[in-house]
Amino acid sequence: MGLTLCQNIIKNHLVSGEMTIGQEIGIRIDQTLTQDATGTMAYLEFEAIGKKRVETELSVAYIDHNTLQTGFENADDHRFIQSVCMKRGIRFSRPGNGICHQVHLERFGCPGKTLIGSDSHTPTGGGIGMLAIGAGGLDVAVAMGGGAYFLQMPESVKINLTGTLRSGVSAKDVILEVLRIMSVKGGIGKVIEYAGEGIKSLSVPERATITNMGAELGATASIFPSDEITLEFLKAQGREKDFSFLAPDDDAHYSQIIDIDLTLLSPLAAMPHMPDNVKKVSEIGPIEINQVLIGSCTNSSLLDMLKVAKILKGKTVHPGVSLAVSPGSKQVLNMLASCGALSDIIDAGARILESACGPCIGMGQAPQTEGVSLRTFNRNFEGRSGTPSGKIYLVSPETAAFSAIAGVLIDPLSLSPDLSVKIPEAFLVNDNMIELPASELEADKIEIYYGPNIKPLPSSTPVPEEISATAVIKTGDNITTDHIMPAGAKILPYRSNIPYLSQFCFRQVDPNFFENCKKASICVIVGGENYGQGSSREHAALVPLYLGVKAVIVKSFARIHRANLINAGIIPLTFSNSEDYATIEPGDILEFPLIKAEIEEEKQITMINTNKQKTLLLNCDLSDRQRGVLLKGGLLEYTKGTN
């Protein structure tokens, strides 16, 4: 039996374990990326590991999240990251150069390479044929130091695309349809591979839109083959030397096959407050809108922007709508300016934002109270926009642009649009905003800059013989990392200051969480299905660690967050019987009398709810390596001990 595309790449990078679905494997990592909201912590962790230089083929630090500088904190963090990059052999993409995933696709992505990034949308690189995976910052730090990246061997799901998209229907509608079919937890433990004749009609940026939002499925990665379309994109970037053909074996086996006829797709929208709450735009109807935002790592390519410019040309944005546009990179912005498309966008009344993540991460452009905002982004979690009552719809650039003019949500197909645009054969390439690191000889003279907002990493301890803790919170299903550790302009500048961040933990779910943790001292979190979905931010584990959380008990975990909990030394537990979830309430005292011995002996974990006088058996499924990490008190201590 042949191998899938993902399996072939894993086979070529396998350093430990066997390629058996569900078993832990370790793979060699070729490239890493970080962004500034997670990068400061990742580089603090890299410094703690003690390596003098990175050992990957390529590592790049991007400044794209915390670019709204209302105080010294973000600028200090950027200076810290820049100094680490110069000293440790990492390329530094300066603020203004663009969003990490867009720039990496343009300038560094290579078919067949492995990439992990401290951002959950790193799978964007699958659009160019990479095995690209989002991870916590500590996993990235370990990979930069030459260590393997560990994950469970995923299943392979094939999505077979046939036909071609109608004008007015886009790649965004393809991934929204996949989300409608599979749900936000349907991709957990899986890699999504796209195949079929329909992929030939999709450019690399369109493919990248689709793989980008594989993160919303909970998938480990999403990937397209590397073919003539890929070669055309790399040639346009002056990087044809990076090309190689990649395809699954003819007799590859998939655990699931989903067929989608592109010809039959219609414009779709993810309604509040979850990316899989998908309906046809025509079914939702012409609801009045207040704001339209076009950009983010999902939809900010030159192709996206040229279509938006064509729609807006000669028109004026509706007086009731605020339209803002964020080109994904300096390259995209320059090319829009050179061809005149930027003028068309500006003339229509759009506000041009810098080439950064911006409002997608809650950094500005919060909608009005109860406002309806159409966004070409990837997430519409409640409160993520900065306005708790905001109603956020995820749509394509085409739907967004037409709606901005109309003042209501409108189906592009109702307008019979001609949206054909010409993409240049050669792109404008200017890498002057990507700084190369110092040589090893010069690096010794460089001092790393630590601003006053950068605080020490929270410390973890080895698993004790027994634990007695208070259940400080009980959540429902699909709790996101935005719920646990919010983003936004008021909080993001403190990503390198865990003590300050801690007062915001779970604030949206329970405003008393911080105080309850302080009173309890030793804490446990209880949750439902798909706990920790969304961002790769390890702060959603590090902040609970700082607040005294020793274990998290849920029905099921999202992949990255579970790994981050283990890395932080927090014990991830699941109910062996989901009905037991109902027996625990906030305030209950939970005792784990044999916790260390049971983890060491690979047994179920005994938990006694002293308030209810009820004993439960919980699952703690760990690989040998994960068990060693937990018993040592986290990945940092484990890594130091194995070097």
> What are the pLDDT digits (tens) for 156-210?
999 999 999 999 999 999 999 999 999 999 999 999 999 999 999 999 999 999 9
Structure tokens at 30: 């070729």
> Could you tell me the sign of the dihedral formed by the alpha carbons of 551, 552, 555, 559, in that order?
negative
From 249, 264, 279, the end of a domain falls on: 264
Name residue 266's amino acid.
S
Residue-level pLDDT at 642: 64
Q: Is 71 exposed, middle or buried (0-12, 13-18, 19+ CB in 10 A)?
A: exposed
- Whole-number Å distance between alpha carbons of 574 and 615: 15
- Condensed to tens digits (0 to 9), the pLDDT of residues 239-261 reads 999 999 999 999 999 999 999 99
Is there a single domain that holds both residue 201 and residue 296?
no
Residue-level pLDDT at 492: 87
Structure tokens at 483: 């719920």
- Whole-number Å distance between alpha carbons of 611 and 591: 10
* 204 phi, psi to nearest 5 deg: -60, -45
Host domain of residue 350: 268-415
> Could you tell me the sign of the dihedral formed by the alpha carbons of 572, 573, 578, 580, in that order?
negative
Contact present, 240 and 349 (Cβ < 8 Å): no
Residue-level pLDDT at 643: 56
If we measure between CA atoms, which residue out of 125, 152, 142, 153 comes closest to residue 56? 142
Is there a single domain that holds both residue 409 and residue 538?
no
**Beta pairing class for 24-27 and 149-152:** antiparallel
**Structural domain count, the chain:** 3
- Whole-number Å distance between alpha carbons of 75 and 68: 9
Is there a single domain that holds both residue 251 and residue 350?
no
Contact present, 37 and 501 (Cβ < 8 Å): no
Place of tokens 């949500």: 409
Is there a single domain that holds both residue 552 and residue 601?
yes
Residue-level pLDDT at 640: 80
- Whole-number Å distance between alpha carbons of 605 and 5: 38
Residue 432 lies inside a defined structural domain of this protein: no
End-to-end CA distance of the chain: 38
Angle, CA of 35, 125 and 534, to the nearest 5°: 60
Contact present, 7 and 227 (Cβ < 8 Å): no
- Whole-number Å distance between alpha carbons of 29 and 570: 25
Residue 424 lies inside a defined structural domain of this protein: no
From 204, 238, 264, the end of a domain falls on: 264
Is there a single domain that holds both residue 367 and residue 394?
yes
Is there a single domain that holds both residue 242 and residue 274?
no
Is there a single domain that holds both residue 306 and residue 184?
no
Q: Chain centroid to CA 90: how far?
A: 21
- Condensed to tens digits (0 to 9), the pLDDT of residues 74-133 reads 999 999 999 999 999 999 999 999 999 999 999 999 999 999 999 999 999 999 999 999
Is there a single domain that holds both residue 499 and residue 410?
no
Is there a single domain that holds both residue 251 and residue 274?
no
Report helix, strand or coil for 261.
strand
> Could you tell me the sign of the dihedral formed by the alpha carbons of 436, 437, 440, 442, in that order?
positive
Is there a single domain that holds both residue 390 and residue 253?
no
Q: What is the CATH number of the domain that holds 601?
A: 3.20.19.10
- Whole-number Å distance between alpha carbons of 395 and 197: 25
Residue 280 lies inside a defined structural domain of this protein: yes
- Whole-number Å distance between alpha carbons of 271 and 392: 7
* 252 phi, psi to nearest 5 deg: -60, 145
Is there a single domain that holds both residue 258 and residue 276?
no
Residue-level pLDDT at 373: 97
Residue 9 lies inside a defined structural domain of this protein: yes
Contact present, 53 and 84 (Cβ < 8 Å): no
Residues 6+ apart with CB under 8 A from 581: 526, 528, 555, 575
Residue 421 lies inside a defined structural domain of this protein: no
- Whole-number Å distance between alpha carbons of 116 and 394: 26
Q: Which helix (DSSP H) or strand (DSSP E) does residue 83 occupy?
A: helix 72-88
- Whole-number Å distance between alpha carbons of 305 and 335: 10
From 239, 264, 289, the end of a domain falls on: 264
Is there a single domain that holds both residue 293 and residue 378?
yes
Low-confidence ranges of the chain (pLDDT < 50): none
Residue-level pLDDT at 585: 97
Contact present, 598 and 570 (Cβ < 8 Å): no
Contact present, 591 and 610 (Cβ < 8 Å): yes
Q: Which helix (DSSP H) or strand (DSSP E) does residue 561 occupy?
A: helix 559-568
Alpha helices in 183-319 (DSSP H): 204-212, 228-236, 281-284, 302-312
Residue-level pLDDT at 459: 87
If we measure between CA atoms, which residue out of 509, 490, 508 comes closest to residue 500? 490
- Whole-number Å distance between alpha carbons of 411 and 425: 31
Q: What is the CATH number of the domain that holds 247?
A: 3.30.499.10
- Whole-number Å distance between alpha carbons of 403 and 15: 50
Task: Give me the DSSP letters along 375-428.
Answer: E-SS---TTTTS-TT-EEEE--HHHHHHHHHHSB---GGGG------PPPSS--
Residue 611 lies inside a defined structural domain of this protein: yes
Structure tokens at 552: 């998290």
Residue 426 lies inside a defined structural domain of this protein: no
Residue 430 lies inside a defined structural domain of this protein: no
- Condensed to tens digits (0 to 9), the pLDDT of residues 364-401 reads 899 999 999 999 999 998 889 989 999 999 999 999 99
